[in-house]
Structure 1
Amino acid sequence: MRALLNRALYEFVWWLFRPFNGLIRYRTAPHPLAESLKLDPAKPVVYVLANRSWVDYFVLERICKDMGLPKPNRTGSNFPTPERAGVVYMPALLETRVRNTELLQLIETGVATRSFDAQIVPVSIFWGRDPDKETSWFKLIFADSVQAGRVRKFFIMIANGRNVFANFAMPLSFREQMDKGPDSTTAIRKLIRALHFHFLRARTAALGPTLLRRQVVIESLLGSPVVQRAIEREAGTTLTLEKAQAYARKCAEEIAADYSTASIRFLERFLTVVVFKRVFSGIDVRGLERVREWAQQYEIVYMPAHRSHADYLLVSYSLYHAGLVPPHIAAGVNLNFWPVGGLLRRCGAFYMRRSFSGDRIYTAVFRAYVDSLIQRGYSIEFFPEGGRSRTGRLLAPKTGLLSMVVEAGLKQTTRKILLVPVYIGYDRCWEVGSYAKELRGAQKQKESAESLLKAGKILGKSYGKAYINFGEPIHLQDYADQKLPGWREYFAANAEGAPEGFKRFVNDLALENARRINEAAVANPTGLAAVALLSSPQRVVSQDEFVEQIGHLIWLLKGNPYSEHQYIPETAPRTIVESSLPIARIARVPHAWGDLFGIAARDAVALTYNRNNIQHLFAIPSLIANLFRTRLLLSDEVIVTGVRALYPFLRTEFFLRWATDETESVTRRWIEVMVQLGLLTREGERLRRPDAGDPAYSTLAMLGRVLGETLERYCMTALLLAEERRTHQELKRERFEEDCRLMAERMAILTGRDAPEFFDKALFRGYLNTLIEIGLVTKTGEQGLQVDARIERIAERSQELLSDESRQMLLQLLSRRKQPESTPAQRGGPA
């Protein structure tokens, strides 16, 4: 009788649900669903739902129908078959642990039947994306909950039916799981426990930890010991106790996010309909499935490259679409303007000043806030570079915020921290025009409502695709075990400050993250076209040569991949050429012997940004090609020696992944790939470059020019240091870096290069740091430098890597740089 009533109630609910079925809007993960699950059609499927809910079952039924998956059926006392998939509720499985049920008997029968196997697919269905939160009665009624009864579930369906997310886990083999245990009872218990923890972790990954009201967060910050100590130190010096407390509250109000899933949903729809659909032809995301797995086991800290204001929008947008909770994002306080500031704050942004300037109270409040995010298990995102790259290269990382995150992560013991590097790239970055102006000396435009309105003009232009690639993560605690001995004991003792070597550890961690970002580089069509075109004489190339050179670049990357996470979206050279023409503004010039492609000087500056995104991928083969600039034949050993001499500088500038002691093996691998592609040939014990009439010679020359400007800067630095050493005058670092910049600027003007990045002072600072690290330059005092005699030989040899024109110009600039400008009278003219 009970079964009959239950069946009648089920039929009634099913008919009641039918009018709403067509109105429900859902998303699924992974994507594409059927291809990702890879279900075996010869084996039965058993879906395991997290909650005992007929509504969840109806939604699962619709999703399976839409996606071409086996249709679920209520299991009852029947075994699932390949033609009839089954459904089990997790609460029913948990019930088998305390009493004997019909379901337990069915499972035990399956265990005993050795020929039986099934594919177990855990499915979590979320109505809305709200985590638990202390809030209004409306939320208490309409927010999804694992404790919701049938009546409340009806209201939840009404309120959130257009925002349903279904998370499918990878299938488990029933037979494999049963064979793991010593007996059937133990195996069943282990499987149920594993499923239970999976659903808990899946819920945390999709919704995040419980949210506290912003005012509660602020009060907890003000009451934290670190903030109280800072207030006490400042009180009685420049501030009264009341003023110090008021200032601390002001800092907390300025910093703290006000996370709202409703705002995130609004921004997601706005970006989808108004912005991304008009600006980008697509958003290509790689590695999301791995992130979904990590999010169920770790607390994630995302550390992306920073190239555009679109970066943080794209990362959160992509994570939300994949069914993951968007992170709390460290944003510059310059973005806290109306109306953007409040919206971003409600979407998880917490604001930080560019400089803390010795402000103890602000520093303490900010540190306490970072600690609270880590302690409560929220994912975080921040940009280690500290600002957007104006050149397209990764900037040297800043370690202030990273230091706080690392310290907070190592102190807590609840959950392991995973640092995830994220490569972000664009076919065309929408700020590239303003970057070029800033590099020429223009003032950076302050973010404001007015600038936001002006930025609306990008909506009428096409910027190609955006690319996101999640790289190889760093397990913080494991990395600290290797690089920071004694950290566990130090933090376990609740000692103040940081353990010995902590600063160096954080610096190494920041550099490792930068290298892993570059490991995940995306060689997109515009980037490949930029490498080939900008490395051609006068920035003009014939169509056949253009296609051939891009093909060689692709085969170089395929022949010796930079890393397993490197990604090439398009591998057909002609398609790459055609797709990059309108985005990169490459002009096609018809000609009877074949079309030519070229780019104007102004557009070439913008295109260098794309080249610089992936220039590091070709650094070693380009250096090898340059060694053949003045020589026809070279031995492998000479090439290895030449690369080894310059590799430390390349590694610093491009954040290359290989350690210095790997230089030889890496170089030899590149040599073999270049031989296989016909860019070099073996002639006895030596390597030979192609003859000038050979098409391969053109590609080798192009490849050499990829590092042309970089090698000119290296040579410039060495020549200036050698000249300074001969003068026996005191060498001051700041003046020397400025001399390098001025010399590069003058060379750029004289050669007609419209490339402000060529004389970027930060690059020369990096070269000097590398020279100090390898012992060719020694610090003397606070700003003084002492140059080793070996620099003269290096300056001489470095000229061999340059063209005759560049070498002659550098020597002329060097000989004239200290000559005082004569007056008209001294020249014999009128005074």
Structure 2
Amino acid sequence: MYHVDTGEQKTAGGRQVYLLDAASTLEVQALNQWIDSTTPDGELRPPSVVLSGEAAHEVAETVRGIAEDPLLIPLRVTLSEKRRGGILRRAFAPRGNSLPTKAWQRWVQGDDPDHSAVLVGEPATLHDLASRFEKAGGTSLSSFIRRQASLALDRAERDVIGSEYKIPRFVVEDMTEQKKFHDGMADLAEDVGEDIAVVEQRVHSILNEMVATETRRAVEMWGTLGAYFSRAYKVDVDRTKLQRVRELNKKHPLVFLPNHRSYLDPLVLRPALLTEGLPLNHVMGGINVGFWPLGPIAKRSGVVLIQRKFSDEIYKWTLRQYMSFLLSKRFNLEWYIEGGRSRTGKLRPPRFGLLTYLVDALENSDAEDVYLVPTSITYDRLHEVGAMAAESHGAKKQAEGIRMALSYIRAQGKLRGNVYLTFGEPISVKSILAENEDKRVAVQKIALTVSHAINNTTPVTPAALVTMALLGIEDRALNVHEMWAIISPLAEYIIKRGLPTAGGVDISEVDVVRSAVIAQVNAGVVKRFDGGPEPVFYLAQDKHLVAAFFRNNAIHYFVLRAIGELVVLPDQDQTGPSTTVSMWRSALKLRDLLKFEFFFGDKKDFGARLEAEVTLIDPEWRTNLVDPEYAISTLEAQDLHLAHRVLQPILEAYQVVADQLMLQPMDSEFDKPTFITQCLGAAQARRLRQQLDHSEAISGELFDTALQLADNRNLLDPGGENLAQRRRDFAHEINEWARKARAIRDMAHRTLDEVDPLTVPSSTTDTDQREDDA
């Protein structure tokens, strides 16, 4: 807060004038009493001007009549922290630009003198404000003075209440009064062939729908709702990386780009950032969540409600202008680069739309650069995964609304574990633009760089290890010894690779794994059977996609190892020995087959990482390629097999799609919804006949990505040249990879049959007691 020194507050005009940002007569009286009390004895009391009512439209003329170049000092009454202690006062007290009611004024009037405080904003001379107004452009100097006074007081108030309330005021006025904005709107009207008045009306309508109109009351209410909604979780935050982010934010605006796993994501992320001293983000959210009462509260607490699909050029232009304004004012943004929530637990392909608008906005803003912060949000357990799994089996998605929200709130009443917030290294947008002349290429590179960074900072959770173990051996229950025989080499592999782990826990500790098993039992994903000589654990019926969701949070770390296992196996019709050339060609084919499931680097990066994985399997692999039996015997001897746990469910789902495609008529229009339904039925029948090893292959999401691949290969449109043969070749290719994955699965089963129950390390906690806890 600025402190007034009357001995120094003189200008060439020789006078100072107080600007009273008051919402009521009582506040005007309080501010005038403060001026009286701070004016030294014997000196002339400085004049004051109220920034509300009819007089507000003539502020410039009024102060110029007092002196040629007076020093303007803004004042505001704010409630003291002391008087916000009561529950009723916190609930009903005015916040920010909320107008205090008469009832509130009567309530606080007559209280002790500590009930309120006077804020003093940083002063400015009339000449300085007029110069800034001329530079920015606008329609009214009086309006500009009022806005600048209010903004100065907001900054002073944040010194008292914290950066959480860094709230933009007068956004629409600031944007629409600038000459640059009017010139751009005129050009837009010409481009779209509309009258300027029609375009202006439409722009204002869009801004009124879109612009976040924050108030302190709504910010606090949204924070309270967020804490209540996410009460089922303990939040683990990577504070070391956030310190670097916070320092960067002192000079540049930031855009936080998290993965999207849950409706809880923004409610979990917000308090973590505020705790580290970062200001409130403007969250770019879909207008589909704008339903009452959450929508109005969200909009008043920093959520920018935008259309899922931008309807026209006027809407796109308006969005770019708004983003440019926010960047120029160094407000931070946030949106989910995947678009919607992931239904599978894997990171979905990035959406380019908002990134494109961000690049345009940066070019048209006063910001020197903007930094993107890749953000990973990972849950131990998650309520809505069951509903998303049902949707993947064909169930209809529940529409967003108050009924859904109430059901969701009730579901959070039980403790569900931890949520981990981790952050990648911030990415300079300007530096990537400088390296790529083609803006479209730059946007794609930005999106992929962020996606890789999110994946690379996502921690491996104990839940991912447990579900990976059980999904790879789906039709068989595991005792503790067998479970550890699978997870122990997996943990060693993770440590050897230096992969991040959730909360920094040592996943090689048997107690960590045991606790994760107990958590999955309590969640109903894993079942325990105690009727035999020892407890055994197995996946609950119809919970395979739920388990796969948590495994898939970390699955990207194991894809290259799984590919390495498959490419070293010879093809079924192969007659000669494998060579480095044939293996590389095979790896590229598999990479192309999986390109809609995973993010791969360029060919050079892919090759280097793949070779490193194969070397982990066998450092001498190059010298033994001439022996056709060597690869099989080497893989057989491994204590870690991943291809059947990572890739076989995908390949089995792709098999279903490829086989169903061969049954489709060659001259009829392709009907995707009907085809997906047919695939769900065919896959269920195959699973019942034990022709599929994995129930998670019965997945609409996997069928959809298989169809993306088929469409990429021109296998869907009717009448294509040699369509029937190309569809058969597609099915044959997938069947060959699935055969290799089943061969790896058989190796893993044989290894499991040889498990020695004495190989399990002793627990630091009593084993029987921990098992009883389950």
TM-score (norm 2): 0.65
For residues 173-216 of structure 1, give each alpha carbon's deviation from its aligned partner in whole angstroms, at most 9, with x where no partner exists: xxxxxxxxxxxxxxxxxxxxxxxxxxx9x99x956977323553
Which of the numbers 522, 547, 551 marks the counterpart of 2:488? 551
Counterpart residue type for residue 76 of structure 2: W
DSSP-derived class of the 1:460 partner = coil
DSSP-derived class of the 2:346 partner = coil
Query: d(CA) in 2 for partners of 1:233 and 1:691?
Result: 66
Matched, 1:527 2:467: no
Which of the numbers 415, 424, 429 marks the counterpart of 1:471? 424
Give 1:212's aligned residue: 169
Matched, 1:304 2:258: yes
For residues 319-346 of structure 1, give each alpha carbon's deviation from its aligned partner in whole angstroms, at most 9, with x where no partner exists: 0011111210101112212221222122
Identity of matched residues, %: 21
1:159 to 1:290, Cα distance in 2 relative to 1, 3 A: farther
Matched, 1:409 2:409: no
Query: d(CA) in 2 for partners of 1:787 and 1:511?
Result: 33
Query: d(CA) in 2 for partners of 1:526 and 1:138?
Result: 52
For residues 727-747 of structure 1, give each alpha carbon's deviation from its aligned partner in whole angstroms, at most 9, with x where no partner exists: 9x5697x55897587446512
Give 1:540's aligned residue: 477
Q: CA RMSD in A?
A: 4.5
DSSP-derived class of the 2:341 partner = coil
Which of the numbers 301, 305, 318 marks the counterpart of 1:365? 318
TM-score (norm 1): 0.61
Give 2:33's aligned residue: none
Per the TM alignment, residue 520 of structure 1 is displaced from its structure 2 partner at its CA by 1.6
Matched, 1:600 2:540: yes
Give 2:12's aligned residue: none
1:329 to 1:282, Cα distance in 2 relative to 1, 3 A: closer
Give 2:586's aligned residue: 642
Which of the numbers 594, 606, 614 marks the counterpart of 1:671? 614
For residues 100-125 of structure 1, give each alpha carbon's deviation from its aligned partner in whole angstroms, at most 9, with x where no partner exists: xxxxxxxxxxxxxxxxxxxxxxxxxx
For residues 773-810 of structure 1, give each alpha carbon's deviation from its aligned partner in whole angstroms, at most 9, with x where no partner exists: xxxx5999x99677798987775454333249989xxx
1:352-391 to 2 correspondence within 5 Å? 352-357=306-311, 359-391=312-344
1:554 to 1:269, Cα distance in 2 relative to 1, 3 A: same
Query: d(CA) in 1 for partners of 2:571 and 2:353?
Result: 47
Counterpart residue type for residue 605 of structure 2: E
For residues 192-243 of structure 1, give each alpha carbon's deviation from its aligned partner in whole angstroms, at most 9, with x where no partner exists: xxxxxxxx9x99x95697732355357449954444544567786xxx8766
1:345 to 1:712, Cα distance in 2 relative to 1, 3 A: same
Per the TM alignment, residue 313 of structure 1 is displaced from its structure 2 partner at its CA by 1.5
Which of the numbers 279, 292, 315 marks the counterpart of 1:338? 292
Query: d(CA) in 2 for partners of 1:221 and 1:459?
Result: 47
Counterpart residue type for residue 423 of structure 1: S
Give 1:746's aligned residue: 682
1:120-269 to 2 correspondence within 5 Å? 137-139=76-78, 211-214=168-171, 216-217=173-174, 219-220=176-177, 224-230=182-188, 245-269=200-224
Counterpart residue type for residue 372 of structure 1: F
- Are the equivalent residues in 2 in contact too, given 1:556–1:673 (CA < 8 A)? no
Counterpart residue type for residue 365 of structure 2: Q
- Are the equivalent residues in 2 in contact too, given 1:258–1:348 (CA < 8 A)? yes
Per the TM alignment, residue 305 of structure 1 is displaced from its structure 2 partner at its CA by 1.0
Give 2:598's aligned residue: 654
Bigger RCO (CA 8 Å, 6+ sep): 2
Matched, 1:711 2:651: yes
Query: d(CA) in 1 for partners of 2:400 and 2:464?
Result: 28
Which range moved further: 258-267 or 361-370? 258-267
Query: d(CA) in 2 for partners of 1:532 and 1:289?
Result: 36
- Are the equivalent residues in 2 in contact too, given 1:439–1:757 (CA < 8 A)? yes
Query: d(CA) in 2 for partners of 1:156 and 1:766?
Result: 69
Give 2:554's aligned residue: 614
Query: d(CA) in 2 for partners of 1:156 and 1:330?
Result: 42
- Are the equivalent residues in 2 in contact too, given 1:721–1:791 (CA < 8 A)? yes
Per the TM alignment, residue 282 of structure 1 is displaced from its structure 2 partner at its CA by 3.5
- Are the equivalent residues in 1 in contact too, given 2:379–2:419 (CA < 8 A)? yes
Counterpart residue type for residue 442 of structure 1: A
Give 2:454's aligned residue: 517
Per the TM alignment, residue 371 of structure 1 is displaced from its structure 2 partner at its CA by 1.7
Query: d(CA) in 1 for partners of 2:116 and 2:492?
Result: 53
Per the TM alignment, residue 481 of structure 1 is displaced from its structure 2 partner at its CA by 1.3
Counterpart residue type for residue 539 of structure 2: I
DSSP-derived class of the 2:398 partner = coil
Give 2:709's aligned residue: 767
Matched, 1:757 2:717: no
Give 1:444's aligned residue: 397
Give 1:122's aligned residue: none
- Are the equivalent residues in 2 in contact too, given 1:301–1:419 (CA < 8 A)? yes
Query: d(CA) in 2 for partners of 1:653 and 1:465?
Result: 27
Counterpart residue type for residue 329 of structure 1: V
Query: d(CA) in 2 for partners of 1:135 and 1:310?
Result: 40
Query: d(CA) in 1 for partners of 2:387 and 2:704?
Result: 19
Give 1:801's aligned residue: 737
In the alignment, structure 2 segments of 5+ residues that lack a partner are 1-72, 83-111, 118-155, 689-694, 744-774
Which of the numbers 402, 408, 414 marks the counterpart of 1:461? 414
- Are the equivalent residues in 2 in contact too, given 1:648–1:660 (CA < 8 A)? no
DSSP-derived class of the 1:538 partner = coil
1:338 to 1:798, Cα distance in 2 relative to 1, 3 A: closer
Counterpart residue type for residue 451 of structure 2: A
Counterpart residue type for residue 801 of structure 1: W
For residues 514-573 of structure 1, give each alpha carbon's deviation from its aligned partner in whole angstroms, at most 9, with x where no partner exists: 2222122221121221111111131632321212222222222222346x8998645124
In the alignment, structure 1 segments of 5+ residues that lack a partner are 1-133, 144-154, 161-199, 485-500, 808-831
Query: d(CA) in 1 for partners of 2:113 and 2:236?
Result: 32
For residues 437-464 of structure 1, give each alpha carbon's deviation from its aligned partner in whole angstroms, at most 9, with x where no partner exists: 3223333322222322222212322221
Give 1:397's aligned residue: 350
Per the TM alignment, residue 418 of structure 1 is displaced from its structure 2 partner at its CA by 0.9
Matched, 1:280 2:233: yes
Give 2:519's aligned residue: 582
Query: d(CA) in 1 for partners of 2:569 and 2:74?
Result: 70
Per the TM alignment, residue 281 of structure 1 is displaced from its structure 2 partner at its CA by 3.4
- Are the equivalent residues in 2 in contact too, given 1:327–1:381 (CA < 8 A)? yes
- Are the equivalent residues in 1 in contact too, given 2:169–2:213 (CA < 8 A)? no
1:653 to 1:693, Cα distance in 2 relative to 1, 3 A: closer
Query: d(CA) in 1 for partners of 2:618 and 2:116?
Result: 64
Matched, 1:318 2:272: yes
1:723-734 to 2 correspondence within 5 Å? 734=670
1:283 to 1:340, Cα distance in 2 relative to 1, 3 A: farther
Query: d(CA) in 1 for partners of 2:419 and 2:701?
Result: 28
Give 1:624's aligned residue: 564
Query: d(CA) in 2 for partners of 1:335 and 1:252?
Result: 18
Query: d(CA) in 1 for partners of 2:284 and 2:548?
Result: 29
Matched, 1:329 2:269: no
